[in-house]
Chains A and B, each alone.
Chain A
């Protein structure tokens, strides 16, 4: 883990990377949060991170098309308490009943790596063909951008489902974009 932290510091303008063998961690903050005196510019592809488009979680897979995210667009997402969101796949870290969860969809036009960025360290699952994808990278976002967590997934073209679980608050900064 020490190596990962050093790498994260070295990559101050990009996300800290982790070995794929390490599944994403909801509390990866092994290094202390930076003291920010000014807001830093989000990384390439995430220029709209501070966008405030509103979106509310779907409550089940049947309704997930109504909670569709546009790639490259920053959202203030509204979540619901865990029991009120029927996740298609049980998350590895489901969160308790008092935590908050979200269920969204997004469409990928071309195959490639895409990044899910969050303002918190909530757990993320991206479903493709009904199965949870293995991330290829995960880490903390660039310091002082407000991006707390970035997880990269390789995706095929098509509609994908994003599950967010174990989030403390009922709102969440959220964005999906082509991996920087």
Chain B
């Protein structure tokens, strides 16, 4: 969980009906999903060839069993250079209007996808500064990818480029919908889906104004309609540590120092450690972290007290946000070896492509 300063949303649960488990994620018109595009995105997501030396895929840091997060504080890049910030979960990112800890300008997955691949601050997958087109050429040289791109991007004649790579990765990530935790089922009418302790935790979550920032069905104001990305960055009542100025690094405004975007809380019990720097190891500590004193400018809501018992209740509530079906869904997992034969290949109307997919090793 992260900061509450100037979070202006309603504390009460959203008035709209709670989302159905199979609610469709929003996709932009210029990157509509198809089964083959999602499958291509999944293969790219799990492919180490998206890193310079082949050792690191998106899934190296975003592990499904951890809600697509990572157990390290920060994750070193492909060549061992230290990471800067904790890896975030990917559940329901299709709804997010701001996608990184510190950059409100990163507001589409298509934009975000290239940051780890080509970025320098920090170096992650290592293609930054390498020969232009190196990644695309690597994929073109393989047996399967040209056919998959042709089927996924017929309007682009199967172009393999950073643009289409990012588009496919984005479509796969938008398919990562997690809406069937015990708490979801409780909200949809299954009174016994969560424990009494978790129900007390839900009440506290609202009363203590956690839901002020961790708002709505995705538990972040970054997914609330009507918010600008900038409005979803907040600072906790913690002294600035001098190591990471957060939003200020982008805006250069003093008032933005130490502000980070509110992370979602779905599957949060699986995604330790916590906070932007991964310095908080457990959920109870993460809750306490929100109430740490020492900042005279802190929002008054952070200066209320919370007892051990209340922390226990809040943890029970947060545990009820774990969606076991999501973290075990084979559609989101490492794809099997070989080249896929997607069901909609016939719809692609390209027998040659279909034949090639069938015959690929």
Residues of A within 8 A of B (CB): 1-3, 22-23, 25-30, 32-33, 82, 90, 92-100, 122, 166-168
Give the secondary structure class of B's interface: loop
Which residues of chain B have C-beta atoms less than 8 A from A28's C-beta? 72
Contact B281 A94 (CB under 8 A): no
Contact A99 B55 (CB under 8 A): yes
Which of chain B's residues has its CB closest to A19's CB?
Answer: B71
A18 to chain B, nearest CB (A): 9
Known: A96-B57, A168-B54. A90 touches B72 (CB 8 A): no
Contact A2 B281 (CB under 8 A): yes
Query: What are 15 A-B pairs with beta-carbon distances under 8 A?
Result: A1-B273, A3-B281, A27-B75, A33-B80, A90-B337, A94-B337, A95-B55, A96-B49, A96-B57, A97-B49, A97-B138, A98-B138, A166-B56, A168-B54, A168-B55
Q: How far is the CA of A126 from the CA of B278 in the complex (A)?
A: 31
Contact A27 B71 (CB under 8 A): no
Known: A1-B272, A90-B334. A95 touches B48 (CB 8 A): yes
Which residues of chain B have C-beta atoms less than 8 A from A92's C-beta? 334
Q: How far is the CA of A95 from the CA of B55 in the complex (A)?
A: 5
Contact B82 A32 (CB under 8 A): yes
Apart from A26-B55, A168-B55: 17 A-B pairs, beta carbons within 8 A: A1-B72, A1-B272, A2-B73, A2-B281, A25-B72, A27-B75, A27-B80, A30-B74, A90-B334, A90-B336, A93-B48, A95-B48, A95-B55, A96-B48, A98-B53, A99-B53, A166-B55
Residues of B within 8 A of A (CB): 46-51, 53-57, 59-60, 65, 71-76, 78, 80, 82, 138, 142, 272-273, 278-279, 281, 334, 336-337
Known: A90-B336, A98-B138. A30 touches B73 (CB 8 A): yes
B52 to chain A, nearest CB (A): 8
Q: How far is the CA of A28 from the CA of B76 in the complex (A)?
A: 8
Give the secondary structure class of A's interface: loop
Q: Among B55, B65, B82, point to the contact of A167 (Cβ < 8 A).
A: B55
Contact B50 A96 (CB under 8 A): yes
Which of chain B's residues has its CB closest to A148's CB?
Answer: B80
Contact A1 B73 (CB under 8 A): yes
Which residues of chain B have C-beta atoms less than 8 A from A2's C-beta? 73, 273, 279, 281
Q: Among A27, A96, A166, point to the contact of B72 (Cβ < 8 A).
A: A27
Contact B281 A26 (CB under 8 A): no
Which of chain B's residues has its CB closest to A90's CB?
Answer: B337
Which residues of chain B have C-beta atoms less than 8 A from A32's C-beta? 82
Which of chain A's residues has its CB closest to B49's CB?
Answer: A96
Which of B48, B49, B50, B80 has the most chain A CB within a 10 Å cutoff? B48
Which residues of chain B have C-beta atoms less than 8 A from A122's C-beta? 55
Q: How far is the CA of A167 from the CA of B336 in the complex (A)?
A: 20
Q: How far is the CA of A27 from the CA of B48 in the complex (A)?
A: 13
Contact A82 B54 (CB under 8 A): yes
Which residues of chain B have C-beta atoms less than 8 A from A95's C-beta? 48, 54-55
Which residues of chain A have C-beta atoms less than 8 A from B54's C-beta? 82, 95-100, 166, 168
Closest 4 CB pairs of A and B: A99-B54, A96-B49, A96-B48, A96-B54
Which residues of chain B have C-beta atoms less than 8 A from A26's C-beta? 55-56, 60
Known: A33-B80, A93-B60, A99-B55. A166 touches B48 (CB 8 A): yes
Known: A97-B142, A166-B54, A167-B55. A30 touches B334 (CB 8 A): no
Q: How far is the CA of A179 from the CA of B287 in the complex (A)?
A: 39
